Structure 1
Amino acid sequence: MEGVRHVLTLRIYYEDTDFSGFVYHASYLRFLERARTEILRAIDFDHRRLWEEKREGFVVRRMTIDYLKPAQMDDVIAVTTQAEDVKAASLVLRQVVTRGGDMLVAATAQCAYLRAGRPARMPERMRREMLRTE
């Protein structure tokens, strides 16, 4: 099962790199997090509103990341995020970072939906939107 897909384009800045001039490995975590936030916005949900109104939202339970090729300062990258598996209270997002036609990073994020710190069913509209195909 595959669902909604979102692409976030970013430029690499000096602050994203290490002493070698390549993107520091932990910087990719920030890029991936931004993309997970934007896929929620694309289906008309956002972290802040969910937390402020209902004290609920996603947390990352597990991530796997394969670093395949480095990006450098001034590169423009695309982070593609796609819902791969959507359940009542969790989802798996597949994320790929590319530059041109080159795959740089492949990641999978297993996310749990929490309400007041406890596992909970995500809103039904959110689940339906995550499941939709374009």
Structure 2
Amino acid sequence: MTADATDGLGGRMEGVRHVLTLRIYYEDTDFSGVVYHGSYLRFLDRGRTEILRAIDFDHHELYQARREGFVVRRMTIDYIRPAVMDDIITVTTAAEDVKAASLVLRQTVTRGGETLVAAAVQCAYLRDGRPARMPARMREQMLRTE
């Protein structure tokens, strides 16, 4: 069973941005109780997955039905401040540049309005392992303005 974007598990759209709230668990931290840098990649990936789900696309269904979906081509990430166990963080995701077969997403991880991590993620859209145009409706949803 998959969760839809309105059940509270997948975050919410705020205008053109997707906002996902997460709690930091012990498994996300290193030996000192600070979030391990690699854990942020998982948090950002969840944000990218949920923005797609919020505009009515599902990674798993796209791949199963059409053998297509996004892959990360490049990521620039700035670690600004640490999060620790039991913190409540917010992952915000918004499209910055949308082309026919790729897009750049701006993502931030914040805690109480304080930026912890900032990332720019370039994603390529593939069909059967080759670059392909993303569905027109997906592109339109990513390009929409407030």
Deviation, 1:21, is: 0.6
Is 1:101 aligned to 2:113, yes or no? yes
> What's the TM-score, normalizing by structure 1?
0.97
Structure 2 partner of 1:83: 95
Structure 2 partner of 1:35: 47
Secondary structure at the aligned position of 2:37 is classed as: coil
Secondary structure at the aligned position of 1:18 is classed as: coil
Deviation, 1:5, is: 1.2
Q: 1:15 is aligned with what amino acid?
A: E
Secondary structure at the aligned position of 2:78 is classed as: strand
Is 1:10 aligned to 2:10, yes or no? no
Select the structure with the greater relative contact order (CA < 8 A; seq sep ≥ 6).
1
Structure 2 partner of 1:128: 140
> 1:112 & 1:51 partners in 2: Cα distance?
14
Deviation, 1:20, is: 1.0
Please give the per-residue CA displacement for 1:11-51, whole angstroms capped at 9, x wherever unaligned: 00000000111000000000000000000001000100000
> 1:99 & 1:69 partners in 2: Cα distance?
10
> 1:19 & 1:85 partners in 2: Cα distance?
38
Q: Pick from 68, 72, 81: which aligns with 1:56?
A: 68
Deviation, 1:62, is: 0.2
Q: Pick from 81, 91, 95: which aligns with 1:69?
A: 81
> 1:75 & 1:106 partners in 2: Cα distance?
17
Mark the runs of 5 or more structure 2 residues left unpaired by the alignment: 1-14
Q: 2:103 is aligned with what amino acid?
A: L
Identity %: 81
Deviation, 1:4, is: 2.9
Secondary structure at the aligned position of 1:23 is classed as: coil
Secondary structure at the aligned position of 1:93 is classed as: strand
The aligned length equals 132
Deviation, 1:96, is: 0.3
> 2:22 & 2:69 partners in 1: Cα distance?
25
Q: CA RMSD in A?
A: 0.9
Secondary structure at the aligned position of 1:61 is classed as: strand
